[in-house]
Structure 1
Amino acid sequence: MGALVSCFSDAGEGRRPQQQRRRQAVNPPPGLSAEVAAAIGLASNDRSGKARSLRKGRGEELLTHEQALAAAILLQQSSGDGTGTGTGTVPFDRSTSLRYPGHGQKKQGLPRSSSSRPRSLADPVLQPQQLVNQDLKIDNLETKHFVLVHGGGFGAWCWYKTIALLEDSRFKVSAIDLTGSGVNSFDTNKITSLPEHVKPLTDFLETLGDLDKVILVGHDFGGACVSYAMEMFPSKVAKAIFLCAAMPTNGQNTLDMFSQEAGMNDLMQQAQVFVYANGKDHPPTAIDLDRSLLKELLFNQSPAKDVALALVAMRSIPFAPVLEKLSLTDKNYGSVRRFYIETTEDNAIPISLQQSMCGVNPPEKVFRLKGSDHSPFFSKPQALHKLLVEISSIPSSPTQ
């Protein structure tokens, strides 16, 4: 969300006719529009990359397609018209993570990144089990339940890699669709307050037992949503992790916080499109992001297929919650342990602004994801997973 808070040729040179293989057209699954199918590379005339995907390992490519398809089909079914405006009535359990076939069974490894960015030594290819300290006793942790809260315009779908990695490491994971986001059918333009936008998260926390605790992870504007939940339910939050996120102080709103970079982030200003559903003589009701600028703004280091998924799944950002000042007390919000994860290649919330927020409102510890854009769950999923597990295992100090 940033200040307020998107491709797949096959050269057949030198091939003799008898060496050319007949390619079978891939038809989009029922319920998926041709536009969405084309976006994620399943249109019948999409011949690019077929030979390459076979060489890389067809199983990995199919797994990525299945995950993207599951989210895209669910989004279209819930919205009815495929626009993401939310007119459908398909029931959805919004307080739990995106479901995958064979839950509880042995899972395949996470597919390799399809990003064209050269992989650095800081982000090696590792299997999920290698990312976690082998001596970590997960059952001895204060909690092994992560609750993932998306940022402005995103939805629970954006966490699909993180969900898979954490579940492979035997953590429990819930990914929340906030009101007017993801597959939640509420009209974004009709959201009038922060509590209304955060209600799916607070409803979820309210259902937890008195002794149940979770680790909240907030991305982007999700940081403000997590802060509100910390104030409401401090006894149910063991730790809060702000992932390139808004981290407000008492009496501050997200607009105030990000106004620090006014005039400094021209890309964000160019990308913002204000929506006036109540007329131009009234305040904006939502913010859209120019689709032609999304890749550079949010996904400049992310794989092409994840960018394609985001282009069909992202929705408008409700404006009223951005303006609402938070009331945060030391007794509640201040009692929860906070951690911050910085992203160094972030074009939406620049690293300088992230550092400024941490300086004004210092967390217990700051971590850094080198080479990550504003969407580390896409661009650096393995490194992000490693940090989440590391933070989950940090013990309380004797004074806490």
Structure 2
Amino acid sequence: MDNANDHQPRQHHFVLVHGMNHGAWCWYKVVTALRRAGHRATALDMAGCGVHPARADEVACFEEYSRPLLDALAALPPGERAVLVAHSHGGYSVALAAERFPEKVAAAVFLAASMPAVGRAMAVTSDELFAYVSPDFIMDSKEFEQKNPKIKGKPFIFGPEFMAQRAYNMSPPEDLTLGLMLVRPANSFTTNNMEEPVMRDENLLTTARYGPVRRVYIMVEDDRALPVGFQRHMIAQSPGVEVEEMVLGGADHMPMLSRPKELVEILVRVAGRWHATQ
């Protein structure tokens, strides 16, 4: 006799990690849709971002920046695994978390995100991106003077024109307005003038821990902030990564705002495939 529960949709736990200068707020549509569908959704602010109380000059290293995610995984009950979803710069935090807690990760999903490869320093991915794009690619984005002499890099923030033309170009105008109101300066910890130990460690991402974690890349064809050619470059460096594509017109660098329904469908499908193999 079939168990009635076998016919109920499985509940998944999604942990959502924002990109540069953003915060948990950018996932508001996706969190609402996932919870409405019966799933758990946890959107986190990395240190110094969103409504996190720290200032950029109080976050001294990438480990501290990623601490909210690392602490969230450490606090999961024994046996529970979460689907980590990284957007943009959040890919570095998710890669670090997958290396530290592979037993707690059902899948690491990279949504138009930086996806470092096993056996390479994470900051190399950033170096290659800036070599791939033109020098004026970041448009009116700007750096601020560093107030903390212990931190070598400078805080950075996306400019209004960059956000309007490259990141939110297909998103509803009210979401661009929201983004312009809420973005905060942050240190990327990836620039060449920073000898950031975690980001520059060639032995950080190992074949024993990060390597076996199921990784899925959601490729956004029309992304103007992370060119699709570079997305393919990162995928090629990580054999075995599963690829989902958002090729529908209207998906920009912020699919959680421009195409939330389609994104949620992909995330639930990805999570369901993991459970089907257990």
Distance 1:216 1:307 in 2: 25
- Alignment of 1:381 with 2:250, yes or no, is no
| Equivalent position SS for 2:85 | strand
- What is the Cα deviation at residue 267 of structure 1? 5.2
- What is the Cα deviation at residue 284 of structure 1? 3.0
2:200 to 307, 321, 325: 325
Q: Higher mean Cα deviation, 154-163 or 190-199? A: 190-199
- Alignment of 1:367 with 2:244, yes or no, is yes
> After superposition, where does 1:118-267 map in structure 2 within 5 Å?
137-139=8-10, 144-249=12-117, 250-254=119-123, 256-262=125-131, 264-265=133-134
Instruction: Identify if the C-alpha distance between structure 1 residues 279 and 333 changes in structure 2 by more than 3 Å, giving closer, same or farther.
Output: closer
Distance 2:140 2:115 in 1: 23
- What is the Cα deviation at residue 345 of structure 1? 1.4
Distance 1:347 1:266 in 2: 15
Q: Higher mean Cα deviation, 348-357 or 389-398? A: 389-398
- Alignment of 1:394 with 2:263, yes or no, is no
- What is the Cα deviation at residue 168 of structure 1? 1.1
Query: Counterpart of 1:329 in structure 2: which amino acid?
Result: T
Instruction: Identify if the C-alpha distance between structure 1 residues 375 and 329 changes in structure 2 by more than 3 Å, giving closer, same or farther.
Output: same
| Equivalent position SS for 2:120 | coil
Q: Structure 2: give runs of 5+ residues left out of the alignment.
A: 1-5
1:336 to 203, 213, 218: 213
Distance 2:157 2:40 in 1: 33
Distance 1:309 1:136 in 2: 40
Instruction: Identify if the C-alpha distance between structure 1 residues 260 and 181 changes in structure 2 by more than 3 Å, giving closer, same or farther.
Output: closer
Percent of pairs identical after alignment?
A: 31
> After superposition, where does 1:66-77 map in structure 2 within 5 Å?
none
- What is the Cα deviation at residue 306 of structure 1? 0.6
| Equivalent position SS for 1:147 | strand
Distance 1:267 1:255 in 2: 20
1:328-354 deviation digits (Å, cap 9, x = unpaired): 111111121110001111111100000
Match of residue 277 from structure 1:
146
| Equivalent position SS for 2:137 | helix
Distance 2:91 2:188 in 1: 16
> After superposition, where does 1:17-28 map in structure 2 within 5 Å?
none
CA contact (8 A) 1:276 1:283 kept: no
Distance 1:382 1:265 in 2: 33
Match of residue 119 from structure 1:
none
Distance 2:25 2:136 in 1: 25
Instruction: Identify if the C-alpha distance between structure 1 residues 255 and 329 changes in structure 2 by more than 3 Å, giving closer, same or farther.
Output: closer
CA contact (8 A) 2:20 2:188 kept: no
> After superposition, where does 1:29-40 map in structure 2 within 5 Å?
none
- What is the Cα deviation at residue 283 of structure 1? 3.8
| Equivalent position SS for 1:238 | strand
Query: Counterpart of 1:355 in structure 2: which amino acid?
Result: R
Instruction: Identify if the C-alpha distance between structure 1 residues 169 and 369 changes in structure 2 by more than 3 Å, giving closer, same or farther.
Output: same
Q: TM-score, normalised by structure 1?
A: 0.61
- Alignment of 1:316 with 2:185, yes or no, is yes
Distance 1:377 1:396 in 2: 24
Backbone CA RMSD of aligned residues: 2.3
CA contact (8 A) 2:138 2:162 kept: no
- What is the Cα deviation at residue 256 of structure 1? 4.0
1:299 to 134, 148, 168: 168
CA contact (8 A) 1:261 1:353 kept: no
Q: Structure 1: give runs of 5+ residues left out of the alignment.
A: 1-134
1:108-132 deviation digits (Å, cap 9, x = unpaired): xxxxxxxxxxxxxxxxxxxxxxxxx
- What is the Cα deviation at residue 261 of structure 1? 4.7
From the CA coordinates, give the structure whose radius of gyration is larger.
Answer: 1
